[in-house]
Structure 1
């Protein structure tokens, strides 16, 4: 249960201000909210399952102390990445607008490709490495998937209501602070395990 809650909170915070949220808002202006959310959910479930399996394999191969230290450093790096910000470039915005065919397939494909190597995927790998039991893996997968879908659902609702008047800087600073907090906690846990 702790793996689920930690993953849900970490990934929800990581997704705030991420380019995936910007994509969700862009798709929500073109398609109905439900197909957009279905596409996001399918892509997220697949990417995060692969992330959990990769993280669990790393977790089984490396002792707990070093994993926690690496995870703590990774989360501090995610904080810096979050402060730097994430934007859709013109090419990505154009792809989000031009997609033809099924909205679910279009959104799912776009999100799948956007999430490969993204900070939420890397955060999920890190969390899974720290919770490598079967129950931990399931908790990380479910928590990270629900956290990301919830953040993107929020983006869809907010995006439809407020348009482009989001306080991005406040969101970015809050997400970075969350990463720093989790990073410090993981570093402390890693030092204790050594």
Structure 2
């Protein structure tokens, strides 16, 4: 009975040693951070922080990312429990390959559109609402779903949330002047290469699960 009660907790935390857990968190951090530099969530934080105190913007961003990543992790765990391992691996490989090709084909900052600030009683809720709407179903959330379906979900959640918090803080503190000196196209290329590498790993895992290697 006790083991049955603790099973959901064990599933979310993920099995494996500390090194594997840390590697998963680091991989999630690197992947999400590379994908989010110059993306719309960072631009939202830049825009809001230029008009308001930075702390409520940062707290609103953290709350939004925590909620979105929690939903993504729970969905990823559900997919992993419903589908065979080789099907999950194949889906993950296709998703990552699609993200990688899209990033490699990026020629400019397509998310650099004018952002209209919503009215509200607090900038915290404005930031939370804007980022929740902007990031729901975005490539980074889908990446968290994919990663958590094949790796320790808690490690994926931690790495992704810290990465999104870091990119948001960079946008709030550094602003456009710093990011304009960074070749965003190069960052997108690196992100695309990273996605394609993970797609190959996921494809191999799917093949191994199907053939019993």
- Normalized against structure 2, the TM-score is what? 0.79
C-alpha distance in 2 between matches for 1:193 and 1:9: 26
User: Are the counterparts in 2 of residues 16 and 175 from structure 1 also a CA contact under 8 Å?
Assistant: no
3-state SS of paired residue (1:30) = coil
**2:168 match:** 152
1:89 maps to 2:113? yes
Pick closer, same or farther for the CA change 1:67–1:86 going to 2, 3 Å.
farther
Q: Any idea what the Cα deviations from partners look like across 1:37-71, whole Å, max 9, x if unmatched?
A: 11110000001101111111001111222212221
CA shift digits 1:105-155 (9 cap, x unpaired): 111111111111101111111111113xxxx22112112111111122222
Residue 10 of structure 1 is matched in structure 2 by 31
The aligned counterpart of 1:80 is 101
State the structure with bigger RCO (CA 8 A, min sep 6), 1 or 2.
Answer: 1
Q: CA–CA distance in 1 between the matches of 2:88 and 2:43?
A: 32
Specify whether residues 163 and 124 from structure 1 end up closer, same or farther in structure 2 by C-alpha distance, changes over 3 A only.
Answer: closer
Q: Which residue of 1 aligns with 2:128?
A: 108
Contact 1:23/1:88 (8 A) holds in 2: no
Greater C-alpha radius of gyration: 2
Root-mean-square deviation (Å): 2.0
More displaced, 116-125 or 61-70?
61-70
Please list every run of 5 or more consecutive structure 1 residues that lacks an aligned counterpart in the other structure. none
TM-score using structure 1 length: 0.85
Question: Which one has a larger percent helix, Structure 1 or Structure 2?
Answer: 1
Shift of 1:186: 1.6
1:1-194 correspondence runs (5 A) = 1=21, 2-82=23-103, 83-84=105-106, 86-90=110-114, 93-95=115-117, 98-131=118-151, 136-159=152-175, 161-162=177-178, 164=180, 166-194=182-210
Deviation at 1:9, TM superposition (A): 1.9
Alpha-carbon shift at residue 87 of structure 1 (Å): 0.8
Secondary structure of the corresponding residue to residue 35 of structure 2: helix
Q: Which deviations, in whole Å up to 9, do the C-alpha atoms of 1:152-178 show, x marking residues without a partner? A: 222223316437554221222122122
> Which runs of no fewer than 5 residues in structure 2 stay unpaired?
1-20
SS of equivalent residue, structure 2 residue 50 = helix
